[in-house]
Amino acid sequence: MKQAVSIVLVLLLGAFIFTALYFADSSPLQFKPYGDADLSGRVSQGYVDKNVTADAASEEPAAVVYGETKNAETGSANIVTSVVVNYRSFDTLGEVTVLFVAALGVGLLLSGKRRRQEAAFQPSFILKHGVRIVLGIMVIFGVYLFTHGHLTPGGGFSGGSIIAAAVLLLYVSDNAFKAKVKAFKIAEGVAGSLYVVAGLLGLALGGYFLYNFLPTGVVGDLLSAGIVPIVYILIGLKVGSEISGVIAGFATEEEAL
Amino acid sequence: MSLMDILELVLGIAMVVLGVVAVNAKKKITSVILLSALSMLAVVAFVIMRAPDVAITEAVIGSGLVTGLFVFTLFTKKNEGEDA
C-alpha cells in the first residue's frame, strides 16, 4: 500500500515537472529554457513598483495607522514577520527543513528501545512544585508568542522553543517522567506538511508558491495578515514538537540488551 | 556622552568580562551559568539596538533552553567521574 502510494506520488511529481518544462506555453508556471527567462524584469521591477502601504491605485505611499489601515500589502504590524513569513517564506520553509533534518539526525542516532537516564540528583520540593506552577504559564506564553507573531515581537521559532523548554522542565523535575515521543513526531509531520500544503494552495489560487491568498484585513487585528498567522502557528507547533523530541531523545538512554 | 552610551559601554565590558570568566572557570556548571548571564546581557543589548525579535529568540534559546539542556546533561549520572 505504502509503495503504491509512493509510486503514484513520484509519477505525479514527474508528470508535473515534465509538463511544466516541456509544455511551458500552456502551463501557468511558464518555465522557460535556461537564459530566456526575464527575471530582472519580473522580480526587480516588481520590487521597484511595490507600494507596500496603500492600494495599488494611489500613487503616494500612505502612512500606516495601527488599527485603521486596511488591505496593506502584508497586513502584519511586525515588519520582521512580514519579511520572514511573507516575502521570504520560502527561506523559512528551508530553515524549517534544516531543523527537521537536524532532528532527524538526532532521532536516527538515539533510536531504539529507550528508558530514562538516571539523574544524579533528586528534584527538590521547590523544583517539583515550582515547575507545576510555571509550566502552564510557559506553555500559554509560547502559544501567545506564535499566535501574535504578526503583531508583537517573537514568532514561531521562539514560541516553539519556549514550549520545548517547558518539556525540558518536566524532565528535570520528575525522574520518572517520559514524554510521548510518538505524539511529537505526528505533530511535527502534520504541521510541516500543512506548511507545504499552504504553499501549494497559494500556488493554485495566486500563481506563486506560498502566495498570501487570504485577505489581509486591518493592521493590528489578531485575524489579519492573511496566511501569516496560520503559517506561524504551524511553524510554532513544528519547532516545539521537534525540539521537544530532541530533548526527549537526550533525556533517555538505550536499554541494555 | 549620554546616559545611553555609558550604559551600552558598561554592558559591552560586562559581556566581555563574563565571557572570559566563563572560559576560565574551574567548574563546568559555573561556565554554563556565566554563559546564561552573558546571554541575558546580550538580550538587553539587542533591545537597546531595537531588535526585539532577536532579543526574544536569544532570551529563549541562548539563556533558557541551552542552559537548561547543559545543566540537565551535567547532572546525569554518567558524568560522576568528571568535575561536574
pLDDT digit string (tens) for B36-52?
999 999 999 998 888 88
Residue of A nearest to B67 (CA): A165
Question: According to the model, what pLDDT value does residue A19 have?
Answer: 73
pLDDT at residue A48, rounded to an integer: 63
Q: In chain A, where does DSSP find H-type helix?
A: 2-22, 39, 45-48, 79-81, 89-109, 125-147, 156-173, 181-206, 228-251
Contact, B83 vs B27, CB < 8 A? yes
User: Within a 10 A sphere around the Cβ of A30, how many other Cβ atoms?
Assistant: 10
pLDDT of residue B43: 92
What distance lies between CA A70 and its chain's CA centroid? Answer: 26
Predicted pLDDT at A176: 76
For chain B, the first-to-last Cα distance in angstroms comes to 44
Residues in chain A: 257
**Residue ranges per structural domain of chain B:** 3-78
Give dist(CA B2, CA A71) in Å, integer: 41
Report how far residue A85's alpha carbon sits from residue A81's, in angstroms, rounded to the nearest whole number: 6
Alpha carbon distance A108, A162 (integer Å): 24
> Would you give per-residue pLDDT tens digits along chain A (257 residues)?
888 998 999 999 888 877 766 665 654 555 566 677 666 666 666 566 655 555 555 555 566 677 776 766 667 777 788 888 888 888 888 888 998 898 888 888 877 667 776 666 778 888 888 888 999 999 999 999 888 888 888 888 889 899 988 988 888 888 777 778 788 888 888 988 898 888 888 887 777 787 777 877 777 777 777 788 888 899 999 999 988 888 888 877 766 55
Provide, as residue numbers in chain A, all residues whose Cβ is less than 8 Å from the Cβ of B29: none
Q: CB–CB of A120 and B84 under 8 A? A: yes
A191 has a chain B CB within 8 A of its CB: no
Of A81, A121, A168, the CB nearest to B75: A121
| Confidence band for B84, pLDDT divided at 50, 70 and 90 | very low
User: Quick check: B27 pLDDT over 80?
Assistant: yes
Q: Looking at CA atoms only, how far is residue B62 from chain A in angstroms? A: 11
Quick check: A81 and A229 in contact, CB under 8 A?
Answer: no
A91 CB-near residues (< 8 Å, 6+ apart): A84
The predicted structure's pLDDT at residue A257: 52
Q: Kindly tell me if the per-residue pLDDT of B5 is higher than 80.
A: yes
Please name the helix (run of DSSP H) or strand (run of DSSP E) that holds residue B4, with its range, or none. helix B3-24
